[in-house]
Amino acid sequence: MAAFGVLAVVLSVYCVCFLVEGTYMVYNTSGGVVPEKINVHLVPHTHDDVGWLKTVDQYYVGSNNSIQVACVQNVLDSLIPALLADKNRKFIYVEQAFFQRWWRQQSDGMKETVKVLVSSGQLEFINGGMCMHDEAATHYIDMIDQTTLGHWYIKRDFNVTPRIGWQIDPFGHSAVQAYLLGAEVGFDALYFARIDYQDRAKRCAEKNLEVIWQGSKSRGSSSQIFTGAFYAGNYEPPTGFYYEVNDDSPIVQDDIELFDYNVQERVDAFVAAAYFQANVTRSNHIMWTMGTDFKYQYAHTWFRNMDKLIHYVNQDGRVNTFYSTPSIYTDVKHALNESWPLKSDDFFPYADRVNAYWTGYFTSRPTSKGYIRVLSGYYLAARQLEFLLGRIKSGLTTDSLADALAIAQHHDAATGTEKQHVADDYAKRLSIGYEESKDVVAASLGCLTQSPLSSECKSPVTNFNQCPLLNISYCPATEVDLSVGKKLVILVYNPLGWKRTSVVRIPVINENLSVSDSTGKLILSQLLPIVNASVSTRKFYVSAYTGESPSSAPKYWLAFTAVVPPLGFSTYVISSGQSSATTELIPNTVDTGSIEVGSGNLKLIYSGKNGKLMKYRNSRNSVNVSLEQSYTYYVGSTDELQASGAYVFRPNGTHTIQFEEKIPLTVYRGTLYDEVHQTFSSWVYQTTRVYKEKEHTEIEFTVGPIPIDDGNGKEIVTQLKTMIGNNKTFYTDSNGRDFLERIRDYRADWDLQVDQPIAGNYYPINLGIYIKDKNTEMSVLVDRSVGGSSIIDGEIEIMLHRRLLHDDGRGVDEALNETVCALDTCMGLTVQGKYYLRFDPLGEGSKWRRSFGQEIYSPFLLAFSEQDDKWTNFPTPTFSAMDPSYSLPDNVAVITLQELQDGAVLLRLAHLYEVGEDNDLSSLATVELNRFFQNRKINKIKEMSLSANQERAEMERKRLPWKVEGSNTEPLSDLRGGPIDHVKLVVELAPMEVRTFILDFNSDIVPYNMR
């Protein structure tokens, strides 16, 4: 270490006494940059987890302190007088979930004081979302929503826009964070702590901790952001400079009248730490993160000691130090006008040391992850319906769901790395948010179906029910006896901007039912039995969720095909009538030959001997591949040095789940789809669906309770084996958006030392994973965040569930052993979910991954209304918010349509394809807003930054240009849609572009005749 040699000399020269008096001292904290010296930017901060060991509210008020002494209220209360005491002091605050709790309790006087501190730059909001969201187990739409909500509060209360991304704690970093939640929200830089320890060592050695990160190859140089990783891998001060009242760092004792005077010693330690860091950092500017989790509960101790350090270190003169912020640090780095290394792809997976890959949390708490995803899609649809209803006049809002979903994106929430009671708290918030949004949805649908001639819609005539537990075949609204002169109306809402055709399934109790569309025409339907495995799951979990035990169970799933216009609905009527098309049951006693399933283009071939899947064949595109599917578990390591736990995946051996030689196999064939039921073990049940009109397979898995009676924690994966020669290469999405190339046992940025060949090759999956060779692509799409990989060529595996008996030593101090109690018993948690599988000829897979992926994220929203026999039809039985002849192009999704509190409307449109991903759809797309909004006239339209807190043009004007090292780093294509023509109102979108607008409508034009 060269710096230490220099240091020894410097110390001996500078060892002079400081002028110290035992009386009142005025510390000189007014320093700024001194160009020829090492400049230490002291950045006072607190890292306040929006729930982890305690709930968000417990952290705020400071209760439950036996778990962790943490009170955010104390932080903010003590901060303000500490800042007022010296105008040179600075502080950054990040989590709006906490700040807003505090802000609404403050007096007008205090609010004015804080506004002055913010406008003077003493207090700066950075990052600025409701929480510091996770970057692996989160979907980009949720990341945008939670950031928008926080940024909106900051704009409302202080009229400022945060400049800096501050993702200091999340466990690895995504490409989408860099370009969408970084460059596209107008951040000038992004800082964080956690990158792989091997990567960090190399970056330290080569002074490459600070880079220009280009997160999207489609978005080119416009997706670049200056990015800094902290040299020590944490966001704490250097050792010895912690000043919370209970920290054991030496305080700076400068009163000569007292014992333990230590100014010279503290200055020497400061200078030594500064030299050490300067030695691994480019330029003579370094940042000290002066704080960590829940610090500054008594802010004065920190500032008192930092005041002294600034005073004495600057008096010493070897290095220069001052109060700073990441914004000031960034501006200084920018002003150096240097070139920085270019970084592409992302920072996953993260390992903090040998054998410690934080890839378990990609799947931890899979039912929480599933719940978040379901409600994320629901929130998108509910906001559309809130907009159609008009939020101001209805008095109902989706706001509490917005808040709950925002908090659930926190890096100890969506990750599953919180204590159980905190996970319960997130679920409770989500459930309350759902309940309130459900009323918005019901009111909106009630109004929209009412007579178009009605001039008022204050209380809709029709009461629509919804069924959040439909996935476990529980839906009181459909479980009604329709043989006694009743009709059941099903309204199917489609939140996507294009017309859609999908099979809808509901549980029913009657056998002889007919389904007709809104014109009264009978349509094809199909009955399937609800199998025993589903009945027992239903019974237990309905009791767990509702506290009530349903007396009887429906016998059948009734399925029919719904065809629904864009941003609209269709209605279907179910009544007693002729028997639905019956299903043919294939007994599981076939013991020779093969069983072919599927009545459309796609066929799955199973072995008649052992019930195993053998082949996948598509007659339309001649894809014909061998395919095996299995379930396997890893035993979680219990190694004292590193166990497998909520964060860390550390397998100890692989075990194929031993099922009988023969997997019991039952096939139900129908007019709409075929279903294959298989019991892999007493705790792994699977239903495979092959739809006549679709070319993918839907696999519904029910896994759990994972047995632990052998004393082993287990991590369950499903594996799909083919002959595809993918040569170690596979592709996984970044937060549901760009696909990144992954190569097994390889990292682009350093020579990987492989110590965990399975866990170290796991990546987060939010949309899907695929592999390919020169002929074929195999794609798997998922219904929630999971971890997955291709560990062997030709294979894809995804982790579905984890149950572990040891803590992995990262602070949560609980084993990830989820249980559910109901009906006087407690048992391990069962997860039920779906994944989807499809093969395509090379180059043709993205159409399905993108279009169907959007359908998975935004499923049909179903609402039910029971009617008597005399009921004929709704005045408006079908509806589209768009011009009836219009549809969004196949490559565009509307990811936000929301009426804001002031009545303006927030619209976000996203291009779904990357550059070069598809021959047809990776092209510039256009959206005609005049036809998108039927019956409304747009008065004013403003293009905004992604988080909608500033106009896009203003954001671009302020953007700092950075120079990238090397000659071959010319900006890639910066293809971007042109400025919007205010007359034609046509929006262009380039590949992977997301555009955000705020619209004002002409209020003289009455939409939908609802006023």
Residue numbers at the binding site for Zn ion (CB under 5 A): 49, 169
Q: How far is the CB of 795 from Zn ion (least distance, A)?
A: 34
As a whole number of angstroms, the distance between CA 61 and CA 129 comes to 20
CB of 137 to Zn ion, least distance (A): 14
What is the smallest separation between the CB atom of 236 and Zn ion, expressed in angstroms?
12
Residue closer to Zn ion by CB (options 413, 482) is 413
Spell 659-692 as b/e; 16+ CB within 10 A means b. Answer: beeebebbbbbbbbbbbbbbbbeebbbbbbbbbb
Cβ proximity to Zn ion, 51 vs 598, nearer residue: 51
As measured in angstroms, the least distance from the Cβ of 152 to Zn ion is 23
Nearer to Zn ion, 49 or 184 (CB): 49
Tell me the backbone φ, ψ of residue 809, rounded to 5 degrees: 75, 30
Find the shortest distance in angstroms from Cβ 263 to Zn ion: 34
Sign of CA dihedral 177, 183, 185, 191: positive
What would the 3-class secondary structure string for 152-201 be?
HHHHHHHCCCCCEEECCCCCCECHHHHHCCCHHHCCCEEEECCCCHHHHH
Q: What is the DSSP letter of 305?
A: H
With respect to Zn ion, which residue has the nearer C-beta, 423 or 605? 423
- Rank residues 361 and 540 by Cβ distance to Zn ion and give the closer one: 361
Query: Quick one: three-class SS letters along 250-273?
Result: CCCCCCCCCCCCCHHHHHHHHHHH
CB of 49 or CB of 777, closer to Zn ion: 49
Tell me how far, at minimum, the Cβ of 134 lies from Zn ion, in Å. Answer: 10
C-beta of 51 vs 377, nearer to Zn ion? 51
Q: Which is nearer to Zn ion, 738 or 808 (CB)?
A: 808
Shorter beta-carbon distance to Zn ion: residue 425 or 517 = 425
Q: Which of residues 169 and 698 has its CB atom nearest to Zn ion in the complex? A: 169
Minimal distance in Å, beta carbon 410 to Zn ion? Answer: 8
- Cα dist. 620→600, 601, 623 in Å? 9, 6, 8
Whole-angstrom Cα Rg for the chain: 30
Per-residue H/E/C for 103-160: HCCCCHHHHHHHHHHHHCCCEEECCCCCCCECCCCCCHHHHHHHHHHHHHHHHHHHCC
Element (H, E) at 616: strand 613-618
**852 Cβ contact list (under 8 Å, min separation 6):** 696, 781, 836
Q: Quick one: 169 or 890, whose CB is closer to Zn ion?
A: 169
Q: Which is nearer to Zn ion, 94 or 185 (CB)?
A: 94
In the complex, least distance from residue 56 CB atom to Zn ion, rounded to whole angstroms: 12
Supply the minimum distance, in Å, between the C-beta of residue 50 and Zn ion: 9
What is the closest distance, in whole angstroms, from the C-beta atom of residue 170 to Zn ion in the complex? 8
Which residue's Cβ lies closest to Zn ion?
169
- Count of other CB atoms within 10 angstroms of residue 5: 9
Whole-angstrom CA distances from 834 to 35, 174, 222 are 58, 24, 36
Least CB distance to Zn ion at residue 713 (A): 24
Residue 580 to residue 511: CA distance in whole angstroms: 8
Q: Is 788 exposed, middle or buried (0-12, 13-18, 19+ CB in 10 A)?
A: buried
CB of 169 to Zn ion, least distance (A): 3
Closest to 892 in 3D by CA, of 421, 497, 469:
497
- Please report how close the Cβ of residue 705 comes to Zn ion at its closest, in angstroms: 30
Give the integer Cα–Cα distance in Å for 71 and 61. Answer: 6
Q: How far is the CB of 465 from Zn ion (least distance, A)?
A: 40
Nearer residue to Zn ion within complex by CB, 74 or 415:
415
> What phi-psi label fits residue 571: left (phi over 0), alpha (psi between -120 and 50 degrees) or beta?
beta
Which residue, 647 or 835, is less far from Zn ion as judged by CB? Answer: 647
Give Cβ neighbours of residue 719 (< 8 Å, ≥ 6 apart). Answer: 628, 629, 630, 631, 632, 795, 796, 797
Angle among Cα 48, 54, 58 to the nearest 5 degrees reads 80
State both tokens at 875: 């005045």
Go through 46-67 and write b for each residue having 16 or more CB atoms within 10 A of its CB, e for each that does not: bbbbbbbbbbbebbbebebeee
Nearer to Zn ion, 49 or 795 (CB): 49
- Residue 169 or 700: which CB sits closer to Zn ion? 169
**In angstroms, rounded to a whole number, what is the distance separating the alpha carbons of residues 1011 and 1005?**
10
Is 621 in contact with 840 (CB distance < 8 Å)? Answer: yes
Of the pair 418, 698, the CB lying nearest Zn ion is at: 418
Please, what is the Cα angle at 256 between 253 and 257, to 5 degrees? 110
By beta-carbon proximity to Zn ion, the closer residue of 60 and 701 is: 60
The closest of 629, 334, 689 to 502, measured between CA atoms, is 689
Shortest Å, Cβ 706 to Zn ion: 28
What whole-number distance in Å separates Cα of residue 3 and Cα of residue 278? 8
Residue 821 to residues 54, 86, 662, 830, Cα–Cα distance (Å)? 22, 55, 33, 12
Q: How far is the CB of 756 from Zn ion (least distance, A)?
A: 24
Rounded to a whole number of angstroms, the minimum distance from the CB of residue 213 to Zn ion is 21
Distance CA 173, CA 829 (A): 29
Rounded to a whole number of angstroms, the minimum distance from the CB of residue 484 to Zn ion is 57
Contact 566, 496 (CB under 8 A): yes
List, in order, residues 6 or more apart from 59 with CB less than 8 Å away: 48, 49, 50, 51, 52, 70, 71, 72, 98, 294
Contacts of 276 (CB under 8 A, 6+ apart): 1, 3, 4, 238
Residue 785 to residue 364: CA distance in whole angstroms: 9
Q: Exposed (0-12), middle (13-18) or buried (19+): which is 234, by Cβ within 10 Å?
A: middle
